[in-house]
Amino acid sequence: MNTRVLQSVCIKGLSAGALAGALALASSAHADVLDDVKKRGKLICGTQNASVPYAFQDPATRSFVGYDVDMCKALAQGLGVTLEHKPLSTEARIPELKMGRVDVVAGAMAYLPERARQVDFSLQYLQGSIKVLVKKDAGITSLAGLAGKKVCASKGSSSAAVAARVLDKSQVLTFQDVASCYLGLQNDKVEGFTAGELVLKRFEVESQEKGAPTVLIGEPTYTERIGLVVNKGNPAMLAAINKVITDMDASGALSANFDKWLGAGSIYKLKREFKVEPVAAP
């Protein structure tokens, strides 16, 4: 119930008791999602469903694992509730949040102004580069070399949004997921495949093992500043998430998670260089 409706009710002479009830209803309609999480004793946290090393099914156990899955676990623990993990397709991340089917998305989701008009971002908990993968024998060594070429991106991804702006001389196509894009590259349906550097690095390693080598173009299309995401109008939930992230940073748990999935304990061997800070570019 909004203010205009309440004013209309008052004009019609609603009793003091009924008016109080109407005001309570209006207030509950705008209750922060943190209240719902605490009442049900469970956090519904969405991640991507097939994005290594962020969130993917372990082939041995069939359970979901990854950097973002561990962030969901840490968030639920920090809030003192149980976790319900919900795997999502890339394009479903924001719609599922807007429809209230998840409370928060840890979906390796980079800050973009158009996204920030729909949802609110937490402090940065991850940073990465968007790059382009090409076949080694194609001889493409720069983004300029993609002019007039077909480049694939996962539907609904920040990679697709960035490619549309940065690779404006290329034909940007969107496929269902990163696996489809990689298959399209191997089958010569596209000349380039753009995604997060870590996702592409895994495909690069796999291609070299299978004798059909691909390589990453060194020049990134964009540096992603990544936060957890909540629906707009939930300041208490956002503050609680930020506290968990800052506590993880202070305790070393955030760096440990990074090292496990992206750093020394992974195939990527990256060093953490990002800070926990607002995701909007300074």
Per mean pLDDT, which of 22-26, 42-46, 212-216 is the most reliable? 42-46
pLDDT of residue 193: 98
pLDDT of residue 208: 87
139: left (phi over 0), alpha (psi -120 to 50) or beta: left
Residue 173 confidence class, pLDDT cut points 50, 70, 90: very high
Q: What is the mean pLDDT of the chain?
A: 89
Q: How far is CA 185 from the centre of its chain?
A: 24
Residue 30 confidence class, pLDDT cut points 50, 70, 90: low
Q: Please say if the pLDDT value at position 17 is more than 70.
A: no
pLDDT of residue 153: 97
pLDDT of residue 281: 65
CB 124 within 8 A of CB 281: no
CB 167 within 8 A of CB 130: no
Encoded tokens for 12: 């019609």
Q: Please say if the pLDDT value at position 21 is more than 50.
A: no
pTM as predicted: 0.72
